[in-house]
Amino acid sequence: MPLLVMKFGGTSVADLDRIRNAARKVQREVERGYDVIVIVSAMSGKTNELVGWVEQTSPLFDAREYDAVVSSGENVTAGLMALTLQEMGVPARSWQGWQVPINTTSTHSAARLVDIPRANIDQKFAEGMKVAVVAGFQGLSPEGRITTLGRGGSDTTAVAFAAAFEAERCDIYTDVDGVYTTDPRITSKARKLPRIAFEEMLELASLGAKVLQTRSVELAMRYKVRLRVLSSFEDGDETSGTLICDEDEIMESKVVNGVASSRDEAKITLVTVEDRPGISAAIFAPLADAGVNVDMIVQNISEKDYDDHPGSVTDMTFSVPINQVERAKRAMEEARQSGQITYDELVVDTEVAKVSVVGIGMRSHAGVAARMFKALADENINIKVISTSEIKISVLIDRKYMELAVQALHDAFELEQA
Amino acid sequence: MPLLVMKFGGTSVADLDRIRNAARKVQREVERGYDVIVIVSAMSGKTNELVGWVEQTSPLFDAREYDAVVSSGENVTAGLMALTLQEMGVPARSWQGWQVPINTTSTHSAARLVDIPRANIDQKFAEGMKVAVVAGFQGLSPEGRITTLGRGGSDTTAVAFAAAFEAERCDIYTDVDGVYTTDPRITSKARKLPRIAFEEMLELASLGAKVLQTRSVELAMRYKVRLRVLSSFEDGDETSGTLICDEDEIMESKVVNGVASSRDEAKITLVTVEDRPGISAAIFAPLADAGVNVDMIVQNISEKDYDDHPGSVTDMTFSVPINQVERAKRAMEEARQSGQITYDELVVDTEVAKVSVVGIGMRSHAGVAARMFKALADENINIKVISTSEIKISVLIDRKYMELAVQALHDAFELEQA
């Protein structure tokens, strides 16, 4: 029997009506001949309520108890979804993480999946059950305690089930109807992509397109799970939404498929750093130790010879998430005080944004960077930092130009046209 | 290490402040040198919310899914209670039913406890944990699914843990401060009893004194678990509340210790029943089959010889909970149609109430019934049905006299005085 995994996020199961709506979509797939594994999130708002209670109770909470409390939201939805399906005449039952069991590491609140034994669910399918409803976001530690997977955990659960059960596809139902060429709130010219390659989605996800969490896309890419993102509030068919798949499945890709932007960036510059072998490690090791996520890095190799700096010096610039600026500053100041590094000044610029173009077609096409920089120059937008990967070019610019830059790039790469 | 079981009902853990208040009571017992097992209910209102969702989703719900959904309320409280205790510096952790495991039968929504293995919790106590917080009301079926114990399940969980762990006492914290000689809303002369025997409490519980569920008292009596009922909203000491214990622990008991009343009664009379051997079985077997809880039974042996009933006939009267009247009527009519029984008429009186006096001292004292009937006669209250047990005398009277009867009996047996 072919099998589908269908995942419904919090807004898709926010109340009993929406659960019924989601169940009808499941029923339709059963009628088409699929066995279905449904992964559910908590009803929207419920997880926040539970997290709020935990944080009010204990600011430095025991993550094991946090997980025990917070996981209950998904359990409620799983039971209600199974009941709704039964009411529609579809043989269904619910599974909590420990019942499958979804085995994870012991890293509470940020556990990683270890394995998902199929035996229990397979047996029920063999007995005639058509739908297994599984509480997402949770698992069981080797110590027998409940774990949660952290942000995006339900998407990750869905992809992992699709991999374990060799599903034909993993459909992620959410409150948007697919992946767009760029944020439709920034330009109305944004176009929904029918297909996008894993690698592209990964770059877009990590760049702040909130449709899917990076982690679930990584897992899908590794196990070649065909992922589809679509709206739970629209009627659709097999072609609805956006299919995230191997690039082999995408016939002809454009050079650039998406423009992503992120405003939660800050730029830090260490002025007049001693330029010697090992200096990069001396700077970035303390940042890593402090848990700072450094993104872009630029070293301005300057040959200027300062009076008070007889050797070769340089400026070092990097970007970090804006809410990690204080942590980064502290790590740098401590490294300077302990003599690991030297610099004259630490300059923070919190008025920046990152804009990126992404496309697997870039690999085989030269001139993408030039076309990007020209489009920005035509709008008089100054580029502060550049970084590139195989299928992505990112620039840091003044935040006030972010929307303008996105629109200019969307036009320059003709993303409006299919 | 001596061990206490402390159980907090829904109103005692209704919000974070109340959970903190309950946790302070636990902390105090830990400071006195006890290991403590805390049994918690769901925050008040939560279970009703969950039950409401299930019933709206599926009127004839799958009880297994009902249990999976409804049990989540207790899990939340257990985690929050453990966190609150940790925050106070008390080593604590939570257990969900399946983690202990609390083994039950498979009768979902009304499961019975089978056994509670001590190993997991004992090991943690040995490692220095002071408080095990256990989600009440739930367990694990032999099939590995979550069960719930039905009404009063959390009290029953508490008593079962006290028995399994040989607790010194099982303290039931609730929103009343003990067991009274009668309902204080009926007479302000009602007096809190410092001690009461299991048997008496059992009669009072089954008579509608809502302090404890019958089932938990039965279990306590069987395993000689000393039960204490007290308020979670008052500061107290070891003598607070009411101790429910073996009668050996009660020095000198009065003849009558309590007057109970229940307004949810109905009286059914089958008029002119053929009086033959086996007639009682023919009447009450169909009622039992229909799930009707017959309480009091009176057979008026009448020798009157009706023209159309040549043999001996009788009237049969019994009482049932008022919400089971329709079910009882249907069972009787079906039995008549199928020829199992004969009667001329079925008369229902829904305007009755039951009033009872209870006391273990009754066993060794004659004249209690006479004193009771005289007190009622003095108020011109007509007795419709009488039933007696070793330590209880109950009468069915017109409902409008219920409060008057309670007050008269409370005075007659001098319950105001200790």
Task: Write out pLDDT tens, residues B337-377.
Answer: 998 899 999 999 999 999 999 998 888 777 888 899 999 99
* CA B150/CA B136 separation, integer angstroms: 11
Residue range(s) of every CATH 3.40.1160.10 domain in chain A: 3-175
Dihedral over alpha carbons B147, B149, B151, B157 (to 10 degrees): -130
CB of A173 closer than 8 Å to CB of A154: no
The answer to whether A146 contacts B83, with C-beta atoms less than 8 Å apart, is: no
Nearest by CB to A69, which of B61, B64, B79? Answer: B79
- Check residue A64 and give its pLDDT: 96
The answer to whether B69 contacts A57, with C-beta atoms less than 8 Å apart, is: no
Q: How big is the CA angle at A94 (ends A88 and A99), to the nearest 5 degrees?
A: 165
* CA B154/CA B133 separation, integer angstroms: 13
Q: How far does B353 lie from chain A, in Å, by closest CA?
A: 40
Radius of gyration of chain A (CA): 24
Q: Is the pLDDT of residue B302 over 70?
A: no
CB of A226 closer than 8 Å to CB of A244: yes
CB of B220 closer than 8 Å to CB of B244: yes
At residue B72, what is the residue type? S
Pairing of strands A138-140, B113-115: unpaired
Q: Is the pLDDT of residue B30 over 60?
A: yes
SS (H, E, C) B110-127: CCCEEECCCHHHHHHHHC
B99: closest chain A residue by CA: A144
CATH 3.30.70.20 holds for B3-175: no
pTM: 0.82
Pairing of strands A169-174, A227-231: parallel
* CA A125/CA B172 separation, integer angstroms: 44
The whole-number average pLDDT for the span B15-39 is 97
- Check residue B142 and give its pLDDT: 97
Q: How far does A160 lie from chain B, in Å, by closest CA?
A: 23
User: How many residues are listed for chain A in this entry?
Assistant: 418
Tokens of A399: 């935040």
Q: What's A259-412's CATH class? A: alpha beta
Q: How far does B8 lie from chain A, in Å, by closest CA?
A: 18
Tokens of B174: 């609730």
Which sign does the torsion angle of CA B201, B263, B11, B183 carry? negative
Interface of B with A (CB under 8 A): 16, 19, 50, 53-54, 56-58, 61-62, 64-66, 68-69, 72-73, 75-76, 78-80, 82-84, 86-87, 93-94, 96, 98-99, 144-146
The pLDDT confidence band at residue B28, using thresholds 50, 70 and 90, is very high
* CA A45/CA A13 separation, integer angstroms: 11
* CA B210/CA B189 separation, integer angstroms: 19
CB neighbours (10 Å) of residue B107? 13
A20: closest chain B residue by CA: B57
User: Among the residues of B165-255, which ranges form H helices?
Assistant: 198-206, 214-223
User: How many residues are listed for chain B in this entry?
Assistant: 418
CB of A372 closer than 8 Å to CB of A364: no
Reported ipTM exceeds the 0.90 cut: no
What mean pLDDT, rounded, does chain B reach?
91
Tokens of B397: 């009277």
Tens digits of pLDDT across chain A (418 residues): 899 999 999 999 999 999 999 999 999 999 999 999 999 999 999 999 999 999 999 988 999 999 999 999 999 999 999 999 999 999 999 999 999 999 999 999 999 999 999 999 999 999 999 999 999 999 999 999 999 998 779 999 999 999 999 999 999 999 888 999 998 889 999 999 999 999 999 888 776 667 888 889 999 999 999 999 999 988 877 778 999 999 888 877 788 999 999 998 999 999 988 877 788 888 999 998 988 988 888 877 655 555 555 567 888 899 999 999 999 999 999 999 998 899 999 999 999 999 999 998 888 777 888 899 999 999 999 998 888 888 999 999 999 999 999 999 999 999 998 8
| Sheet (strand A313-321) strand order | A297-301, A313-321, A258-274, A345-358, A392-398, A385-389
Chain B residues with CB-CB distance to A62 below 8 A = 82-83, 86, 93
User: Among the residues of A169-213, which ranges form H helices?
Assistant: 198-206
* CA A112/CA A78 separation, integer angstroms: 21
Which tens digits make up the pLDDT trace of B217-268?
999 999 999 999 999 988 877 788 999 999 888 877 788 999 999 998 999 9
User: Among the residues of B230-351, which ranges form H helices?
Assistant: 279-289, 325-337
CB neighbours (10 Å) of residue B20? 17
B91: closest chain A residue by CA: A62
Q: How far does A217 lie from chain B, in Å, by closest CA?
A: 30
B96: closest chain A residue by CA: A68
The answer to whether B80 contacts A96, with C-beta atoms less than 8 Å apart, is: no
Q: How big is the CA angle at B22 (ends B16 and B26), to the nearest 5 degrees?
A: 135
Chain B residues with CB-CB distance to A80 below 8 A = 53-54, 57, 65, 69
CB of B341 closer than 8 Å to CB of B273: yes
Q: Does residue A58 come out as left (phi exceeding 0), alpha (psi in the -120 to 50 range) or beta? A: beta
Share of chain B above pLDDT 90, in %: 72
The pLDDT confidence band at residue B204, using thresholds 50, 70 and 90, is confident
Q: Is the pLDDT of residue B304 over 70?
A: no
Nearest by CB to A83, which of B54, B82, B145? Answer: B54
Residue range(s) of every CATH 3.30.2130.10 domain in chain A: 259-412
Chain B residues with CB-CB distance to A108 below 8 A = none
CB of A229 closer than 8 Å to CB of A178: yes
